[in-house]
A and B are shown apart, each in its own frame.
Chain A
Amino acid sequence: MLLPKFDYHEPTTLEEALKMLSELGGNAKILAGGTDLLVRMKQKIDMPSHVISIARVPGLDAIVPRDSHGVTVGSAVTAAALSRNELIMDRFTPLALAASRLGAPMIRNRATIGGNLVNGRPAADLPPACMVLNASLKLKSAGTERDVPVVDFFRGPGETMMEPNELLISINMDTPPPWTGGAYIKLGARKTLEISMVNVAALLTLQSADGPITEARIALGAVAPTPVRAYAAEDFLIGQKPSEQLFQKAGEIGVGMCSPITDHRGTMEYRCMMIEVLTKRALMAALERARNWQP
């Protein structure tokens, strides 16, 4: 398959990249891993006249711990790097798990967290994980800088609230408190090279190893025009003693927050059933990790 023609730019500083974005605006696309953009260009869905590679812009591909308070993940960090990073696996577990399920090994070596977020696909792997971790996204343009909560980022399929001249720089997350555990479950017809039929990320914080739930976050993908937090199910769980029956009820409430469609991957009815089942399973897995939390 052939790529259409385009002008190719390789800025070597962030300032240069942002200046190019300002000047070229809607005629330019950012190239990071290329596993979405180049596919869309080959399919003639995107035909930008300019492609700006950020490969040589320094500082975008690092995972930087902020003492023990949090972590800043550069937008160009690959899914492979995220899935193997010990800090992410330990303290930001849903993100490591989601990254490990993205695509397949070769895709993960190129695909970036930035690309997975800015493409705004409802079934993307990383957004639900970022949402349960209350991630904040740093966006910059030639003249501006702003931090946006990831829960406010998505507008619709393929649509985010980014301006055409903005670049996603980093994803910031605070370390969850003690007795927190997280999970991510991806459902598809295959275990690999698959777009989700339903995906769920969950994060639970307990008062203590045997204590009640003090914080609950559940995010679902592929079941609405954007990834969504199941706030009603979360509120239901706060203050309760964790149990399978409780999580079953939370799953039932979660279905009410979703508006899945019937498409070639699955029917609306099946997706609704799976939201219930997978929410419960994700909460069970999160609970297990929360109970085994180590300082």
Chain B
Amino acid sequence: MKKIIKLIVNGEKVEAAVEPNRTLVQLLREDLGLTGTKHGCGLGDCGACTVILDGKPVNSCLVLAAQADGREVLTIEGLAENGKLHPIQQAFVDKGAIQCGFCTPGMILSAKALLDATPNPTEVEIRTAISGNLCRCTGYQKIVEAIQAAGQALAGTEVS
């Protein structure tokens, strides 16, 4: 039996009727057309489906849509403002941290959660924060540099 859920996605109110076995990643991608969040392993092992749920990064493939009732979700689509990239997105572009791009939305959201809590993270803290996001292309080095640069940009201490 479907359940009516009300949630906030990227600042906007959303109402949907969902089957119990619908996951949050399915709701976002298939019902809301927000395909920035990717479906990877479906088992919480790759992080491609990362979204920020009530301020915390989670694997949306392991959250039932019904569990998101009454909650706030931030996806990658919610970062850019008026077409201008968020500093973390810009840093990924500038540092060459994007190859195929499949891991990128999840990486950026994990980075955002980190920088929101820890504005000046160490390299160990960065690598730990993204340790649930797998990248098959880059070898992670430029992703780490992008997050360091983004941290500096956000703190206003950017060195160009």
Binding site for B on A (CB under 8 A): 1-8, 10, 31, 33-35, 38-39, 42-43, 51, 53, 55, 80, 103-107, 109-110, 191-193
Question: With A and B bound together, what is the CA distance between A8 and B19 in angstroms?
Answer: 9
* Structural contact, A7 and B42, CB atoms closer than 8 A: no
Cβ of B58 within 8 Å of any chain A Cβ, yes or no, is yes
Residues of B within 8 A of A55 (CB): 67
CB distance from A259 to the nearest CB of B (A): 29
Q: A6-B21, A7-B1, A106-B59 are in contact. Are A191 and B42 (CB under 8 A)?
A: no
Q: A1-B42, A34-B67, A110-B58 are in contact. Are A105 and B129 (CB under 8 A)?
A: yes
* Structural contact, B20 and A6, CB atoms closer than 8 A: yes
Question: With A and B bound together, what is the CA distance between A191 and B132 in angstroms?
Answer: 11
Which residue from B20, B44, B53, B131 sits with its C-beta under 8 Å from A5?
B20
CB distance from B98 to the nearest CB of A (A): 20
* Structural contact, A107 and B44, CB atoms closer than 8 A: yes
Q: A34-B64, A38-B64, A42-B42 are in contact. Are A7 and B57 (CB under 8 A)?
A: no
Q: Which residue of B lies closest to A5 (CB)?
A: B21
Interface size on B, residues (CB 8 A): 30
Chain B, 6-31, CB within 8 A of any chain A CB:
19-21, 23
Question: With A and B bound together, what is the CA distance between A42 and B61 in angstroms?
Answer: 10
Q: A34-B63, A55-B67, A103-B44 are in contact. Are A109 and B58 (CB under 8 A)?
A: yes
* Structural contact, A5 and B19, CB atoms closer than 8 A: yes
Which residue from B1, B43, B56 sits with its C-beta under 8 Å from A1?
B43
* Structural contact, B132 and A103, CB atoms closer than 8 A: yes
Chain B, 51-107, CB within 8 A of any chain A CB:
53, 56-59, 61-64, 66-67
Please give me the 4 A-B residue pairs with the lowest Cβ-Cβ distance, nearest first: A104-B132, A8-B20, A1-B42, A192-B131
26 A-B contacts (beta carbon < 8 Å): A2-B21, A3-B21, A5-B21, A8-B64, A31-B64, A34-B62, A35-B59, A35-B62, A39-B62, A42-B43, A43-B43, A51-B20, A53-B67, A103-B132, A104-B132, A105-B113, A105-B128, A105-B129, A105-B131, A106-B58, A107-B132, A110-B58, A191-B131, A192-B131, A192-B132, A193-B45
* Structural contact, B110 and A106, CB atoms closer than 8 A: yes
Residues of A within 8 A of B50 (CB): 106
Chain B, 29-48, CB within 8 A of any chain A CB:
41-45, 47
CB distance from B46 to the nearest CB of A (A): 9
| Interface Cβ pair total, 8 Å cutoff | 84
CB distance from B61 to the nearest CB of A (A): 8
* Structural contact, A106 and B63, CB atoms closer than 8 A: no
Residues of B within 8 A of A103 (CB): 44, 132
CB distance from B39 to the nearest CB of A (A): 9
Inter-chain pairs besides A35-B62, A106-B59, 17 sampled, C-beta below 8 Å: A8-B66, A35-B44, A38-B23, A38-B64, A39-B62, A55-B67, A80-B56, A104-B132, A105-B113, A105-B128, A106-B47, A106-B57, A109-B56, A110-B58, A110-B62, A192-B128, A193-B132
* Structural contact, B3 and A106, CB atoms closer than 8 A: no
Question: With A and B bound together, what is the CA distance between A1 and B23 in angstroms?
Answer: 10
CB distance from B158 to the nearest CB of A (A): 26
Residues of A within 8 A of B43 (CB): 1, 39, 42-43
Residues of A within 8 A of B56 (CB): 80, 109
CB distance from A142 to the nearest CB of B (A): 23
Residues of A within 8 A of B131 (CB): 104-105, 191-193
Q: Which residue of B lies closest to A7 (CB)?
A: B20
Residues of B within 8 A of A38 (CB): 23, 62, 64
Q: A5-B19, A105-B129, A193-B131 are in contact. Are A110 and B63 (CB under 8 A)?
A: yes
Q: Which residue of B lies closest to A10 (CB)?
A: B66
* Structural contact, B21 and A4, CB atoms closer than 8 A: yes
Residues of A within 8 A of B47 (CB): 104, 106
Question: With A and B bound together, what is the CA distance between A6 and B21 in angstroms?
Answer: 7
Residue in B19, B43, B113 whose Cβ sees the most chain A Cβ within 10 Å: B43
Residues of B within 8 A of A33 (CB): 62
Residues of B within 8 A of A3 (CB): 21, 23, 64
